[in-house]
Amino acid sequence: MAPRAPASAALRSPVDEDARSIVVNLTRGQVENSPPVSSERPVSRHYETEYHRYYGLDSYWEPGPIGALFGPGSMPLPAVPPREPEHPHVRSSDEVCGYRIAARNDEFGKVEDFVIDDSDWSIGYVVIDTRRWLPGRTVLISPAWIEAVDWPGRSIAIDLDRDAIKSAPEYDPSKVITAEYETRLFAHYGKSLPTRRQHEQEGTSHA
């Protein structure tokens, strides 16, 4: 089996939805010789530093409860890479799927999937499976509402209560997330749309 190699968002082109493909700005040789990674183990800062040096990239991690998983940033690489792997901070999305959701007043649901924003490859939403409590329903939450992640305990604490999640607008993965749906979702949770989303919606309405 060929080794797996991650592809940074900085190396990807827009998604070709018709062809169901993602084009990367790399040669086959670059991918084959890239530092290999195991999808079953967390990625250490040591590996990430070496990876970005290999491709000549600035780092994209930023502080947060789940590190680089939920948002790209930019900061210079250290002059000397760490000799020993530091505390792992980047997880495969496959590994995080199945983590329990700890609402303010109860555990309610589990992580089923992620919705990617293909404009910058950040994670726009976390898909929550509530079918144990609500047969057939999945809902979305923003990663901005995550307060902490218990990696050993495989759970994610969020700044929402059980009733809010229970009555949230249902998410249908077969449909495109529209501006109207996002507005309704944030209003339901009593949250404000991120400034970028507001600008995008305003631009769409004036187009």
Segment 76-115, tens digit of pLDDT? 444 555 454 444 556 778 888 999 999 888 888 899 999 9
Q: How many CB atoms lie within 10 A of CB 10?
A: 16
pLDDT at 186: 95
Same domain, 101 and 201: yes
Cα–Cα dist 118/116, whole Å: 6
Same domain, 146 and 81: no
Same domain, 84 and 134: no
Q: Cβ(100)–Cβ(154) under 8 Å?
A: yes
Cα–Cα dist 130/135, whole Å: 7
Residue 8 has pLDDT above 70, yes or no: no
Same domain, 54 and 148: no
Q: How many domains does the chain have?
A: 2
Note the Cα 126 to chain centre separation in Å: 7
Note the Cα 70 to chain centre separation in Å: 4
From 37, 66, 92, give the residue that closes a domain.
92
At 15 the three-state DSSP class reads strand
Q: Name the H helices within 126-194.
A: 162-166, 179-188
Same domain, 7 and 36: yes
Same domain, 48 and 12: yes
More confident residue, 155 or 200: 155
Same domain, 69 and 140: no
Q: Which of these ranges, 2-11, 119-128, 129-138, 167-176, has the smallest mean pLDDT?
A: 2-11
At 54 the three-state DSSP class reads helix
Same domain, 11 and 88: yes
Q: Cβ(156)–Cβ(111) under 8 Å?
A: yes
Same domain, 120 and 181: yes
Same domain, 46 and 76: yes
Segment 28-83, tens digit of pLDDT? 787 777 777 665 566 666 677 777 777 777 665 544 444 444 444 444 444 555 45
Same domain, 58 and 103: no
Q: Name the H helices within the chain.
A: 28-32, 45-55, 93-96, 162-166, 179-188, 195-206
Domain containing residue 183: 97-206
Residue 178 has pLDDT above 70, yes or no: yes
Q: What is the CATH number of the domain that holds 163?
A: 3.90.50.10
At 115 the three-state DSSP class reads strand
Q: Kindly report the average pLDDT of the chain as a whole number.
A: 75
From 71, 92, 113, give the residue that closes a domain.
92
Same domain, 155 and 183: yes
From 77, 92, 107, give the residue that closes a domain.
92
Spatial CA neighbour of 147 closest among 126, 173, 177: 126
Q: Cβ(124)–Cβ(176) under 8 Å?
A: no
